[in-house]
Amino acid sequence: MRITDITITPVAFRDPPLLNSAGVHEPWALRSIVEVHTDEGVSGLGESYGDIGHLDRLSRVAPALVGLDVHQLNVMHRRVAEVLGGKSGDDRHGLTGKLTVEGTVDRVFSPFEVATWDIRGKALGRPVSDLLGGAVRDAVPYSAYLFYKWAGHPGAEPDQWGEAVDPAGIVAQAERLIAEYGFGSIKLKGGVFPPDEEIAAIHALREAFPTLPLRLDPNAAWSVETSIRVAEALDGVVEYLEDPTEGIPGLSEVAAKAPMPLATNMYVVAFEHIAPSVAVDAVQVVLSDHHYWGGLSRSRNLASTCETFGIGLSMHSNSHLGISLAAMTHLAAATPNLSYACDTHYPWNREDDVVLPGALTFVDGAVPVPTTPGLGVELDRDALARLAENYRTCGIVQRDDTGYMQKFDPTYERLRPRW
């Protein structure tokens, strides 16, 4: 079953002004939609980042994959590496760590690899989770992903979510997300306000939701000392603390004193980071993400490695559309040691933007694992055309949370640590 053609469509969809330690989300989030076609008439879907450098790498790699059989993942991975020629990519926000050569190959490989699972599933008449070893859960739990946010983008009408800049606003946001989606755990994106304010927000969440697991993720906004202080203040309150400080050595220092596990999606983001992290017990939970761990099969390798070293496994998310949600759900369903609810930005999408490619639904905070062949989602061509037009007109070619924040506060700097 040979690849005959690959199309890559950059798309943009609306994004609220969500705050993080690098700045604030711009009005449009970018993604790329990848379609892989075969000589047997079966096509598959993948979804990835939409930044200009990444799009360029995807477009350079695609022709080198034409002619390969869809089962040749090892050869496909090698071809990606050859085309990229040992150069690493970059991103401006740095929220998923520094890009290495190996990590860049895995990022570029991922959407093509996911599309081949979709194809193989369709050809066999089986859902992707079956091909990954079979689902161990019928539905994949996701967490309510809370953000501090402005009422709306400056100069625009307030959005449907309203402002959240203090504990009361965060609790109100959680109440709404939980009422609408039924989430059974909560993650707060921190690193925005001074740590004591974020500790207060977590305590307010604990009071409002006494039984739900909580997490806090400041994306390395704190020094080692501040991280240890916050960790002590949240003893028994959060299930893990995510990327409190910068780097494997810093995380290791914090981990030695923190009463709860530390998690990361910033400093163990490629296979080459695992050994140095294990050597100093820097993190006890790794957030996997098939978009940068090299697709579904390599994410399963990560899961086995974590199991071997007794490291917990959770799942990370950036702003994404439905193809990603489907791939995340199949992968999580077929990963027995994924023991935490996964992150997802999906609820932040507007309803008219999530019709691509046929929305999956949340039931009691979980996405039922699709049982139809492949990923189980269909591309909505009208929605794709609309989102592609957004990309052409939105004026954004690269995610830049810091640059966008500086438009409103020219003195703003991305500091690690800030506190």
Ligand X SMILES: O=C([O-])C(=O)C[C@H](O)[C@@H](O)C(=O)[O-]
Tell me the binding residues.
25, 100, 145, 187, 217-219, 265, 316-318, 345, 399
To 5 degrees, how large is the angle CA 77–CA 90–CA 416? 130
Ramachandran category for residue 67: left, alpha or beta (phi over 0 → left; psi -120 to 50 → alpha): left
Single out the residue of 18, 119, 331, 396 in contact with ligand X (rule: CB under 6 A). Answer: 18
| Spatial separation of the C-alpha atoms in residues 171 and 304, rounded to whole Å | 36
Tokens 């695609």 map to which residue?
A: 62
Single out the residue of 316, 330, 414, 416 in contact with ligand X (rule: CB under 6 A). Answer: 316
Single out the residue of 20, 223, 252, 277 in contact with ligand X (rule: CB under 6 A). Answer: 20
Q: Which is nearer to ligand X, 347 or 358 (CB)?
A: 347
What does 18 bind: Mg ion, ligand X, none (CB cut-off 5 to 8 Å by kind)? ligand X
Q: Which is nearer to Mg ion, 24 or 62 (CB)?
A: 24
290 is catalytic: no
316 is catalytic: yes
**Closest separation in Å from C-beta 20 to ligand X:** 4
Grouping H, G, I as helix, E, B as strand and the rest as coil, residue 310 is coil
- CA dihedral sign, ordered 83, 85, 86, 87: negative
Single out the residue of 110, 116, 223, 265 in contact with ligand X (rule: CB under 6 A). Answer: 265
What does 189 bind: ligand X, Mg ion, none (CB cut-off 5 to 8 Å by kind)? ligand X
Name the burial class of residue 339, with classes exposed (0-12), middle (13-18) and buried (19+) by CB atoms within 10 angstroms of its CB: exposed
DSSP state string for 125-152: T-BHHHHTT--S-SEEEB-EEEE-B-SS
Specify the amino acid at residue 137.
Answer: R
**Closest separation in Å from C-beta 11 to ligand X:** 17
Given the residues 54, 77, 93, 316, the one annotated as active site = 316
Choices 30-38, 61-69, 172-180, 311-319; region in contact with ligand X by CB under 6 A: 311-319
Binding to Mg ion by residue 343, rule CB under 5 A?
Answer: no
Given the residues 189, 273, 291, 330, the one annotated as active site = 189
Q: What is the largest CA-CA distance in the chain?
A: 59
Q: Which is nearer to Mg ion, 15 or 130 (CB)?
A: 15
Pick the closest to residue 186 from 171, 166, 164, 169 (CA basis): 171
Count, residues near Mg ion per rule CB under 5 A: 3
- As annotated, the binding site for substrate includes 25, 100, 145, 187, 217-219, 265, 316-318, 345, 399
State in Å, rounded, how far the first CA of the chain is from the last one. 54
**Closest separation in Å from C-beta 355 to ligand X:** 22
Pick the closest to residue 34 from 60, 68, 6 (CA basis): 6
Backbone angles phi, psi at 189, to 5 degrees: -75, 115
Inter-residue contact 212 to 184 (CB < 8 Å) = yes
Single out the residue of 26, 217, 253, 353 in contact with ligand X (rule: CB under 6 A). Answer: 217
Inter-residue contact 345 to 318 (CB < 8 Å) = yes
Q: Which is nearer to ligand X, 265 or 402 (CB)?
A: 265
In the window 215-254, what residues touch Mg ion (CB under 5 A)?
A: 217, 242
What does 129 bind: ligand X, Mg ion, none (CB cut-off 5 to 8 Å by kind)? none
Grouping H, G, I as helix, E, B as strand and the rest as coil, residue 14 is strand
Inter-residue contact 351 to 151 (CB < 8 Å) = no
Count, residues near ligand X per rule CB under 6 A: 11
In the window 112-131, what residues touch Mg ion (CB under 5 A)?
A: none
Give the catalytic positions in this structure.
Answer: 189, 316
- Interface residues with Mg ion (CB under 5 A) are 217, 242, 265
- Interface residues with ligand X (CB under 6 A) are 18, 20, 95, 189, 217, 219, 265, 316-319
